[in-house]
Structures are given as structure tokens and as C-alpha cells.
Amino acid sequence: MSNVVVVGAQWGDEGKGRIVDWLAEKADIVVRYNGGHNAGHTLVVDGRTYKLALLPSGVVRGKLGLIGNGVALDPEALLAEIDRMAALGIRVTPEVLQIAETATLVLPVHRALDAAQERMRAKPLGTTLRGIGPAYEDKVGRRGLRVCDLAEPDLLAEKLDVLLEHHNAWLRGTGQEPFPREPMLSGLLAMAPRILPFVGRVWEQLDHAHTSGKRVVFEGSQAVMLDIDWGSYPYVTSSSTIAAGAASGAGIAPSQLGRVLGVSKVYATRVGEGPFTSELDGALGDVLRQRGGEYGVNTGRPRRCGWLDTVQLRQSCKVAGINQLALTKLDVLDGFESVQLCVGYMLDGARIDYMPSTNAEQQRLQPVLRRYEGWAGSTRGVRSYGDLPPQAAALIEAIQNEVGVPAAMVTTGPERDDAIVLQPPFA
């Protein structure tokens, strides 16, 4: 297989960025195909930390990065990220980054709407308040602005008027101040000269890559359980996070995607609201959070922690087309007396082996847990499967058996080479 799609298999924050970075060594191109700067990917290279949100993770290795049409692009956030990378010695130029001309723009009004809508909800969704959802709403409502509009100032102003007419009607109707036009328009026109050199036909570059036999990594943001169709609705993101989204969000035939690598921690985390059946309240959850550094890359929000839910993971693999797993953060479980896996659910007194579709039923689920012996030794930095403590190896085997998908690799630390490779994703 010449291509690999990297998909978050839980609720996000699984460590996709470092997996993409590792794959990028053997790849020619890395493509972002969904989401926006509401997702953060952290890379640790030789002790230096790189925090990315919109830039494809391959830019740290100097590989060509593409931002697909399925991404919601905040131009202000992108330019700030490019500047941060420059301060760390990574120059992002049009030679190493191209943006799809049809990608949707995230505007200041979208951030204001995101905050206003969240305030008005009786039960907040826990969004990142970055404006991603409202931007996608405008895209589907056919009033959104796209990257290509930055090249036509007169048309840009006209489209902005249409967009603001719609949103300001809602703001006035809810007793809020309308959003001003001029600061937003002048800001976009000021940023356009820096953004436009990066704009190109991403679909064409991917077609050329396919015909010339180049290796491509498709980098997904968020995860299956945050997918707009397959996640724990309504506590989801606003884009398609599964492998099928890579085809529509980048402009490539589904038959050309290649392998699908699902990334999952060996435990589970979730940010924000929504059901989390295997969540650990109290001291044990706090230990996982502290040892795993479970705080949002962009927001700093503490993540909810729990045992790995193999029912959820198995279902994610099926709907997302995942045929290999990358299991991350094994070293975080070092020293635990025992480790548990959620291997089933109890719903209203009956055992089930799937995640129900309704939020009400998901909230009523009780986990069926299976205990595994922990290990006293350290797995940090281990790079050979045979060097793992027997109990750690047994846990990896149990996860593969429960989920029914083989593990391609297991990470044992934050550095890019702290990994055990079992089945290389690139054949």
C-alpha cells in the first residue's frame, strides 16, 4: 500500500500527530482533510515540542503538506501558527505547504457565534469556541466564504454582506449586538497577500502523486466518536472524521486511500461533555490524567480519563474502515497494580456488545470490566516487543483479541522513535 489514512479511534487526543510524524519519514506528502484549529497535534523531537493545529504534521520533517477542501481554515490562526513554527526553526513556505482553493474560511463572526450559541444552550456541548461549527454551517448553507474568494476583493465583500445579513438577523433576534462588517473585511484583505501564495489545486497534486507512485499520509483530526454521523451525537464535531472523509475532504478516489490506521490510547480520554461509559471518577482518573499529561493542546482543558473501552473501539474500527491499530501511551500504565478493559455494556439489565445510537441510552450504559495484571517494570522507551514486561505484552494481545484488529505499532514514550513496530503500515 502506498497510502495510509490516520484516524482517531476514540474521542480525539490519541496521539495522531506523533504517529503521522513517524509515518512521514517514509512518506512524500501529508494531507489534512477535516476539522480546523480546534484540534491540536503535539510532536516531541529531540526534546523540542511542536504544537500544531492546522499545519499537517509532516512539515516538521520538511515534507510537502496539503490542507484539503474539507478543512475549516481560520487564516489568522494559520498565519500565527506559521510564525510560531518559524520561531522554532521550521520555515513554512509555499514549497512545503499548499491549501485547497475551496477550503471553507473560519471568520471572526464564527467565533462570536460559537460562544453565543454555547452560552444559550441549556446543556453546553463543550465546544472549543474556535468557530468551527458555525463555519461548517455556513458551508452547508451555501453562504460560506472560501479560500479562493480572497483573490477577488469585490466578490469577497459581496459574499460577506450575505453572510452577515443572515447571522446578524439571528443576533438581533436574540437581543445581541450585530457583528460589524468593516473590521472583518479589512482583516481578510490584509491577510490575503500572505495566504494566496499557498493556494493551489490540492486534488490535482494528489492525482499526480497517485500516478507517480508517491506515498501519501492522510492526517485526520478529532476521532470516530466525534464524527458528525458516527459519534456520540450531539457531543460531536462538525465534520467527517472517518476514512471516507479523507476522500471527500482531500479530493481523491476512495479506492486510492490505502490502509487505514486507527490510533487509540491503551486507556481512554474525552474532553468536554457527553457519555463516557468507562470513565474513572476520583483518584485513579486523576493519576491517569497527571501521568499522561491529559490536558488539551490548544485549550489546556483537563481531559476526562478512564479504562480502554474495547466495545467502542471495535465499533469505531468497523464504521471507519480501520484495519490496523496504533496503540499509544503504554508507558503511562507502568506501575499500576492492575489494569482493566471495558469488554461489554449493561443496558437496563441486559448485556449488549455495541454502542447504542441515542444519547439517552448511552448515558444509561454500565461497563462490564475485565481485570488484567499490571507490571512493576518500566516500558518507557522500549522499542522491542520482546523487551516488554509479560503483563504489558498480555494487555496488548488482549486488546487485539477484543477489538479484532491487529496492532501495527505501540508507543512507549513521547519521542518520535519511542515505539515498537509490529506491522509497518507502509508495505
Q: How many other C-beta atoms are found inside a 10 Å radius of the C-beta of residue 247? A: 20
Report which secondary-structure segment, H or E, holds 98. Answer: strand 97-100
User: Mean pLDDT throughout 220-249?
Assistant: 94
Residues with Cβ within 8 Å of residue 335, at least 6 apart in sequence: 374, 375, 376
In 3-state terms the chain splits into helix, strand, coil percentages (rounded to 5) of: 40, 20, 40
Could you give the CA distance from residue 184 to residue 186 in angstroms, rounded to a whole number? 6
Distance separating the N- and C-terminal Cα atoms of the chain: 5
In contact, 87 and 50? CB cutoff 8 Å:
no
Q: What is the dihedral of CA 372, 376, 382, 385, to 10 degrees?
A: -40
pLDDT at 427: 61
pLDDT at 327: 98
Mean pLDDT of all residues belonging to the chain: 94
pLDDT at 47 over 80: no
Q: How does DSSP assign 23-73, residue by residue?
A: HHTT-SEEEE-S--TTS-EEEEETTEEEEESSS-GGGGGT-EEEE-TTSEE
Average pLDDT over residues 374-394: 96
- Cβ atoms of 305 and 336 closer than 8 Å: no
Q: Is 110 a catalytic residue?
A: no
Mean pLDDT of 16-31: 91
pLDDT at 13 exceeding the cut of 60:
yes
Question: Can you tell me the mean pLDDT for 244-256?
Answer: 95
- Position 123 scores a pLDDT of 83
pLDDT at 12 over 80: yes
Q: Give me the pLDDT at residue 21, please.
A: 87
Interatomic CA distance for residues 218 and 243, integer angstroms: 9
User: Which amino acid appears at position 35 of this protein?
Assistant: G
Q: Which residues contact 380 (CB under 8 A, 6 or more apart)?
A: 331, 334, 412, 413, 418
Task: Judge contact between 199 and 97, C-beta under 8 A.
Answer: no
Instruction: Specify the pairing of strand 407-411 against strand 324-328.
Output: parallel
Q: For the segment 53-66, what is each residue's pLDDT rounded down to a tens digit?
A: 999 988 888 899 99
Contact criterion met (CB below 8 Å) for 416 and 60: no
Using one digit for the tens of pLDDT, what is the confidence trace for 337-368? 999 999 999 999 999 999 999 999 999 999 99
41 in catalytic set = yes
Nearby residues of 94 by Cβ (< 8 Å), 6 or more positions away: 197, 198
Residue 71 cell numbers, joined:
478543512
pLDDT band at 230 (very low <50, low <70, confident <90, very high): very high
Sign of CA dihedral 383, 387, 391, 395: positive
Angle at 236 between CA 234 and CA 238, to 5 degrees: 105
Q: What is the reported pTM?
A: 0.93
- Identify the active-site residue in 13, 149, 227, 309: 13
User: pLDDT digits over 291-349, tens only?
Assistant: 999 987 666 789 999 999 999 999 999 999 999 999 999 999 999 999 999 999 999 99
Task: Write the pLDDT tens digit of every residue in 71-93.
Answer: 999 999 999 999 999 999 999 99
In this predicted structure, the answer to whether residue 1 has a pLDDT above a threshold of 60 is no
Average pLDDT over residues 384-397: 97
Q: What is the pLDDT of residues 160-199, one digit of tens each?
A: 999 999 999 999 999 999 999 999 999 999 999 999 999 9
Residue 130: is it exposed, middle or buried by C-beta count within 10 angstroms (0-12/13-18/19+)?
Answer: buried
Amino acid at site 115: A
Q: How far is CA 325 from the centre of its chain?
A: 15
Strands 48-52 and 41-45: antiparallel
Which candidate in 37, 41, 110, 167 is catalytic? 41
pLDDT value, residue 414: 86
* Contact call for residues 324 and 425 (beta carbons, < 8 A): yes
Q: Residue 8 above 80 pLDDT? A: yes
pLDDT at 44 over 80: no
> In 3-state terms, what secondary structure has residue 407?
strand
Supply the pLDDT for residue 132: 95
Three-state secondary structure call for residue 295? strand
pLDDT of residue 297: 66
Q: Is the dihedral of CA 333, 293, 306, 244 positive or negative?
A: negative
* pLDDT digit string, tens, across residues 157-168: 999 999 999 999
